[in-house]
């Protein structure tokens, strides 16, 4: 058996920060809860990111709930990407039962059931704050990455953005972008203007770009792009001194991977560009929790993976921490995993040779300890127990500690429909972002311009027909230029009558 006095001395020293902290549980040794050892995490290192891992049913979501609650107590808001849809109960107080009473009696800590301030968010039409962004806010490079365009197609998007900027054509949603592409390729005036001043667009490149836009629309992106766009500063709210827990419900990620990639890239980029540099502020400004992260990395495009790696490296300087919740550490790419300063590891099961390899890899990432046979104990951790290692206030990894985690103070279940309706009806942010705005943008401006061109062209054609000698009109119309002119007039006239400009009517 390990020396308990030495364990208490070493672990207490390393897990007793001088500044403010959150408490996750008590240390354990030889299966016994050691109440003298508080497992605490300094607030100043929480923006160094982290991982919560473990097999299904080992308590990862409850650990996430405890983490978010502890942050909220210290006035730190969070954003939780709730993929399984089982996190919303944090908005209601928990209920004491025999299991919780027994658990807290072992820790000698008080259990105080309470609710936490919550905002529900959505990118796919569910109840909650509607998260939107404009095409202009994405910019040509980020939008091209989302659309998975090649270098030539990306340069075309950059030209289109420049053209719209010079011509005062706001790009709000995807209809605006499609209308501009149609205008500068199909409309004679638009085509000439673009060709003379910016360069031409080949039909093949245009087709590829439009196919990518349509594919993204089929995943619901038409609802995501628009106004009012979401202000990321609204993530930094407090109520009654508690940080607001923002819950983004994305249960349909598997059917809409590109839409989710779009949101992730937009969110990271907007936070990075909007938040000021924090320096050593002593605590994070915001913490992002990405639940079921293995689904994201499995479905993610190469672009999203690169963007996540970049943002994980850069965004902590903005006072933002990112925590990935997944089943095994191997679900997270090495370049990301190496940036995660805190690891909370629930039990892993070694049913297969592959499982045993994952266990060995996970243990290799922990500090060496004399108190545990980590490769054996990791397979026998109970529900609500985990290995924890983090960074102390000097940025040095703390010793690995078998932790008996505290239970959530809020409800460990989801909200029902009536509770969701009540929560969203009382939200000022839901009201702020509920109704889409339909300002005049590139779509409306170019539609009006094309309609006017059709109206002006018709009388001119009639006048020429009256003045020309018999037979001349027929001869002109047999020429190549005449056929092109007639085709253009017929196409634009049909669009005007039917109200269908190139790629379909406005869908708001």
Mean pLDDT (whole number) for 347-371: 88
Q: Cα–Cα distance between 376 and 373 in angstroms, integer?
A: 6
Show the tokens assigned to 294.
């293995």
Q: Does any domain span residue 51?
A: yes
Task: Say if residue 332 is in the same domain as residue 458.
Answer: no
Q: How many domains does the chain have?
A: 2
CA-wise closest residue to 175 among 142, 228, 130, 134: 134
Computed from CA positions of residues 65, 70, 75, 79, in that sequence, does the dihedral angle turn out positive or negative? negative
Selected residue with higher pLDDT from 448 and 472? 448
Task: Say if residue 335 is in the same domain as residue 420.
Answer: yes
Whether the per-residue pLDDT at 255 is higher than 80: the answer is no
Mean pLDDT (whole number) for 434-438: 84
Q: Does any domain span residue 161?
A: yes
- For 363, which DSSP code? H
Q: Does any domain span residue 505?
A: no
Show the tokens assigned to 286.
């915001």
Contact 321, 283 (CB under 8 A): no
Selected residue with higher pLDDT from 175 and 457? 175
Q: Does any domain span residue 458?
A: yes
Contact 245, 80 (CB under 8 A): yes
Task: Say if residue 8 is in the same domain as residue 154.
Answer: no
Residue 408 pLDDT class (50, 70, 90 cuts): very high
Residue 444 pLDDT class (50, 70, 90 cuts): confident
Task: Say if residue 243 is in the same domain as residue 342.
Answer: yes
CA-wise closest residue to 132 among 334, 479, 432: 432
Count the Cβ atoms, other than its own, within 10 Å of residue 326. 21
Task: Say if residue 246 is in the same domain as residue 355.
Answer: yes
Model pLDDT, residue 141: 86
- Collapsing DSSP to helix, strand or coil, 384 comes out as coil
Q: Cα–Cα distance between 93 and 372 in angstroms, integer?
A: 36
Q: Cα–Cα distance between 304 and 260 in angstroms, integer?
A: 10
Q: What is the CATH number of the domain that holds 116?
A: 3.40.50.300
Task: Say if residue 240 is in the same domain as residue 348.
Answer: yes
pLDDT tens digits for 185-210? 888 888 898 989 988 888 899 999 99
Which of 406, 433, 460 is the last residue before a domain boundary? Answer: 433
Mean pLDDT (whole number) for 485-501: 36
pLDDT tens digits for 141-151? 888 888 889 99
Task: Say if residue 115 is in the same domain as residue 139.
Answer: no
Q: Does any domain span residue 367?
A: yes
Task: Say if residue 284 is in the same domain as residue 205.
Answer: no
Task: Say if residue 215 is in the same domain as residue 287.
Answer: no
Mean pLDDT (whole number) for 463-473: 44
Task: Say if residue 237 is in the same domain as residue 265.
Answer: yes
Contact 45, 390 (CB under 8 A): yes
Whether the per-residue pLDDT at 221 is higher than 80: the answer is yes
Complete DSSP assignment for 148-177: T--HHHHHHHHHHHHHHHHHT----SHHHH
Selected residue with higher pLDDT from 446 and 347? 347
Strands 32-42 and 21-29: antiparallel
CA-wise closest residue to 345 among 380, 296, 396: 380
Task: Work out the percent of the chain whose per-residue pLDDT is above 70.
Answer: 87
Which residue in this structure is represented by tokens 């708001």? 508
Q: Does any domain span residue 503?
A: no
Distances (CA, A) of 390 to 46, 80, 157, 166, 253: 9, 21, 44, 51, 30
Which residue in this structure is represented by tokens 């996190």? 87
Mean pLDDT (whole number) for 261-265: 76
- Collapsing DSSP to helix, strand or coil, 119 comes out as strand
Q: Cα–Cα distance between 287 and 320 in angstroms, integer?
A: 6
- Collapsing DSSP to helix, strand or coil, 33 comes out as strand
Element (H, E) at 472: helix 472-478
Of 57-71, 170-184, 259-273, 469-483, give the lowest mean pLDDT range. Answer: 469-483
Task: Say if residue 377 is in the same domain as residue 328.
Answer: yes
Q: Cα–Cα distance between 112 and 42 in angstroms, integer?
A: 22
Which of 414, 433, 452 is the last residue before a domain boundary? Answer: 433
Q: Does any domain span residue 375?
A: yes
Task: Say if residue 199 is in the same domain as residue 246.
Answer: no
Whether the per-residue pLDDT at 486 is higher than 60: the answer is no
Q: Does any domain span residue 106?
A: yes
Range of the domain at 220: 135-225+440-498
Which of 433, 463, 484 is the last residue before a domain boundary? Answer: 433
């Amino acid at each position: 058996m390990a020396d308990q006095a030495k364990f208490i001395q070493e672990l207490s020293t390393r897990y007793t920060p001088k500044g403010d902290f959150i408490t996750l549980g008590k240390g354990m040794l030889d299966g016994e809860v050691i109440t003298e050892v508080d497992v605490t995490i300094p607030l100043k290192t929480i923006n160094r990111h982290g991982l919560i891992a473990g097999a299904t049913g080992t308590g990862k979501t409850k650990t996430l709930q405890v983490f978010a609650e502890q942050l909220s107590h210290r006035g730190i808001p969070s954003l939780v990407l709730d993929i399984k849809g089982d996190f919303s109960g944090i908005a209601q107080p928990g209920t004491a039962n025999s299991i919780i009473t027994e658990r807290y009696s072992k820790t000698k800590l008080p259990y105080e059931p309470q609710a936490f301030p919550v905002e529900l968010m959505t990118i796919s039409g569910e109840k909650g704050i509607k998260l939107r962004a404009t095409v202009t806010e994405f910019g040509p490079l980020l939008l091209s990455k989302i659309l998975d365009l090649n270098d030539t197609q990306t340069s075309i998007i950059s030209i289109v953005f420049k053209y719209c900027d010079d011509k005062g054509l706001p790009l709000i949603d995807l209809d605006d972008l499609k209308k501009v592409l149609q205008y500068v390729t199909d409309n004679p005036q638009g085509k000439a203007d673009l060709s003379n001043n910016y360069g031409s667009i080949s039909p093949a490149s245009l087709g590829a770009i439009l196919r990518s836009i349509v594919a993204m629309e089929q995943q619901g992106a038409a609802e995501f792009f628009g106004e009012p766009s979401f202000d990321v500063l609204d993530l930094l709210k407090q109520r009654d001194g508690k940080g607001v827990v923002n819950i983004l419900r994305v249960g349909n990620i598997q059917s809409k991977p590109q839409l989710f990639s779009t949101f992730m890239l937009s969110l990271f980029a907007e936070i990075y560009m909007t938040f000021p540099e924090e320096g050593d502020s002593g605590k994070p400004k915001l913490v992002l929790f990405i639940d079921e992260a293995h689904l994201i990395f499995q479905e993610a495009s190469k672009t999203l993976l690169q963007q996540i790696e970049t943002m994980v490296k850069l965004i902590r300087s903005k006072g933002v921490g990112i925590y990935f919740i997944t089943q095994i550490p191997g679900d997270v790419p090495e370049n990301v995993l190496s940036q995660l300063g805190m690891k909370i590891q629930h039990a892993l099961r070694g049913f297969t040779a592959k499982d045993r390899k994952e266990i060995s890899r996970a243990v290799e990432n922990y500090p060496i300890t004399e108190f545990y046979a980590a490769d054996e104990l990791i397979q026998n951790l109970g529900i609500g127990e985990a290995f924890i290692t983090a960074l102390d206030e000097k940025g040095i990894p703390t010793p690995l500690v078998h932790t008996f985690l505290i239970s959530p103070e809020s409800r460990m279940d989801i909200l029902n429909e009536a509770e969701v309706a009540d929560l969203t009806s009382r939200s000022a942010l839901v009201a702020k972002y509920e109704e889409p705005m339909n300002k005049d943008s590139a779509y409306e401006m170019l539609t009006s311009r094309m309609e006017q061109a059709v109206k002006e062209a018709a009388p001119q054609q009639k006048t020429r027909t009256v003045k020309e000698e018999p037979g001349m009109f027929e001869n002109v119309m047999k020429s190549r230029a005449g056929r092109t002119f007639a085709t253009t007039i017929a196409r634009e006239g049909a669009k005007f009558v039917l109200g269908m400009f190139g790629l379909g009517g406005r869908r708001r």
